[in-house]
Structure 1
Amino acid sequence: MEQDFLRLIYPQWQGGNIASWFPDFEPQKISVGYSLGAELLNFLCPYSSNVKQVPVSFKATERGEKDGILDKVPLCEQIAAALDILRTEGPNKVLTLGGDCSVSVPVFSYLASKSPENTAIIWMDAHPDITLPGDAYNGFHAMALSACLGEGDPDILSLLPGKVLKKNVLTLGVRNFERNEIVKRFNDWGIENIRPAELEKDTVKIEDWLKARNIENVLVHLDLDVLEPSQIQAAVGKDSHGLTIKTVLNCISAISRKANIIGFTIAEPMPRTAILLKEMLNQLPLTHL
């Protein structure tokens, strides 16, 4: 059953290894907090008539590494489940609400498989997300862009129907490359990045990049940590000197002027206040009043 548009709620949390970054929260609660973020994004977005949700395991006490990837087994199962939904629904355009950054992987792979030569990824993020299994950090959300480009774990890649060419990838707002090997890989793969200070001036470079490659379709990944945390703190990451909300909107407008946005992901929401409030409500006798 082919649909033109699908909203995919993807409350995946297993891609993140984030508990140590939030010492004031219980590890299980902050890890699974991604799922609450996905639900809130769906609540806040405008109404959509075609909404599906990827089934996600919440067994947070059974986490383990395999082949250099934390929680590889449930991640593979959830990627397969997402692809089953996509193949059944057959959408031409998908809005994905995550969840950690790796929710883009099956969706972008599915959409890119339709026309890989003239499809681009524009990855808006404070980090490049091009780590690989065996790197210092084992969270799959940091390997998400790599997987979209056909790089990474062979079991995961075997599930994916398509990939985007490395020459057709642009990152916006990356300001924390984390380690030297990431910088080298970024340069070796020929990925270009437009830094926040440049984008705050104008978005001409985005349009020029799309025009030079004759790109028709774009997959946009918006990690909320690309935003300036002093203006809004809605993500897991909070690297300073990010993009303002206005600049993010300007970037999306610039992309729309030059190409069709066929995939859009909003990822890495971490509603700290909502998690605390939910925990308080769970401890009140609200079901017995």
Structure 2
Amino acid sequence: MTAMHPSGPGALRLIFPQWQGAAGAGAVGSLPAGQPHQTQLSYHLGPSLLELLSPEHDGPTAFVPVSTDTSEAAVETVDGIYARSAVLLQLQEAVRVMQEADPQSVVTFGGECSVSVAPFSHLAALYGDDLAVLWVDAHPDTGMPGDGYTGFRSMSLATLAGLGDPEFLASLPAVVPAGNVLQIGLRDWQDPGIETKQRLGIRSVGITDTPEDTRRILEWLALTGATKLAIHVDLDVLDRRDFADRTGSGTRGVRVPDLLRIMDAVGEAGEIVGLSLAQHAPLELLRLGGLLRDLPV
């Protein structure tokens, strides 16, 4: 499984606990009452747990500072983007961190889905058309400001591909051509972002639990001619029978063995220089925290 881990000179582990891209303050299930932003803030906690549970890393680690201000002013929706000011500032800070570290490869622990934009943009500036992006996600993430849902996570892939808010685009060192992007495991075909996905011409491969999926992905990769890979994995793509600590529901997701099979195959076909794990929402720990607040501890 070593092909799964971007490594070598300049490898970086990036901790980016951004939560503001997940718009809306609604609670989930039995989360503590009276704490309306706790579901979003779970994305702030998730990256630290991912780092804690991951194999030892002997390369550099960088942190993107993320505000935990949940005041009305801090999360105000402006120009169709929730908490626009914070999200833009944190994107720019993530770009600065990447430029300062100047890694040849990066593993990112997020945070909601938009945490991949800055590191993948850095890799696009470094490798140009030799970089292909595999976006493993149940949702297209190709929304635009004004589509309805205001969370920037739903716009992250469109932004990376060069469409979106002009100020966000101006903050990026590079974008990825839509022809070098493949969506894997997409299930939400009712998402408003589907229209932008189709306009961009981004292709997708569903997961049918057969080797045919892998063959189609490898054929697409060969057509791009790219030898470097950046892989975004939104944990909500996984089947709940294998992983439940994330938002969303259903048991029609990608099974973990299938994901690992695909990762192994693409790792043999190209060099994985970017890997992001996003949308880790440790809701059970938040519920435990609520219990602890009510106990005489």
Task: Provide the TM-score with structure 1 as the length reference.
Answer: 0.93
Query: Structure 1 counterpart of 2:118, which letter?
Result: P
The question of 1:128 aligning with 2:140 is answered yes
Percent identity of paired positions between Structure 1 and Structure 2 = 33
Q: Which residue among 3, 11, 20 is the counterpart of 1:14?
A: 20
Counterpart for residue 253 of structure 2: 242
Contact 2:246 2:283 (C-alpha < 8 Å) held by counterparts: no
Q: Distance in 2 between matches of 1:244 and 1:3?
A: 32
CA change 1:13–1:7 in 2 (3 A) is same
Q: CA offsets per residue over residues 168-188 of structure 1, 9 Å max, x none?
A: 110100011233x43332222
Contact 2:245 2:284 (C-alpha < 8 Å) held by counterparts: no
SS at match of 1:27: coil
Aligned CA-pair RMSD: 1.8
Q: Per-residue deviation at 1:199? A: 5.1
Q: Per-residue deviation at 1:61? A: 2.5
SS at match of 2:208: helix
Counterpart for residue 273 of structure 2: 262
Q: Per-residue deviation at 1:47? A: 1.2
Q: Distance in 2 between matches of 1:119 and 1:143?
A: 20
Q: Which residue among 26, 46, 60 is the counterpart of 2:70?
A: 60
Q: Per-residue deviation at 1:233? A: 1.0
CA change 1:164–1:34 in 2 (3 A) is same
Q: Between Structure 1 and Structure 2, how many residues are aligned?
A: 284
Map residues 58-97 of structure 1 onto 2, 5 A cutoff.
58-62=68-72, 63-97=75-109
Counterpart for residue 44 of structure 1: 53
Counterpart for residue 41 of structure 2: 32
Counterpart for residue 184 of structure 1: 195
Counterpart for residue 110 of structure 2: 98
Q: Per-residue deviation at 1:279? A: 3.1
CA change 1:199–1:54 in 2 (3 A) is farther
Q: Which residue among 180, 185, 197 is the counterpart of 1:168?
A: 180
Q: CA offsets per residue over residues 192-239 of structure 1, 9 Å max, x none?
A: 111121656541111111111111111100000111113321222234
- Give the number of the structure with larger relative contact order, counting CA–CA contacts within 8 Å between residues 6 or more apart: 2
Counterpart for residue 158 of structure 2: 146
Q: Per-residue deviation at 1:190? A: 1.3
Q: Distance in 1 between matches of 2:78 and 2:190?
A: 23
Contact 2:207 2:213 (C-alpha < 8 Å) held by counterparts: no
Q: Per-residue deviation at 1:34? A: 0.5
CA change 1:99–1:199 in 2 (3 A) is farther
Q: Which residue among 113, 119, 124 is the counterpart of 2:131?
A: 119
Map residues 210-289 of structure 1 onto 2, 5 A cutoff.
210-284=221-295, 286=297
Q: Per-residue deviation at 1:20? A: 3.3
Task: Provide the TM-score with structure 2 as the length reference.
Answer: 0.90
CA change 1:21–1:214 in 2 (3 A) is farther
Query: Structure 1, unaligned stretches of length 5 or more?
Result: none
Q: CA offsets per residue over residues 124-179 of structure 1, 9 Å max, x none?
A: 00011000001110000011101111110111111110010001110100011233
Query: Structure 1 counterpart of 2:168, which letter?
Result: I
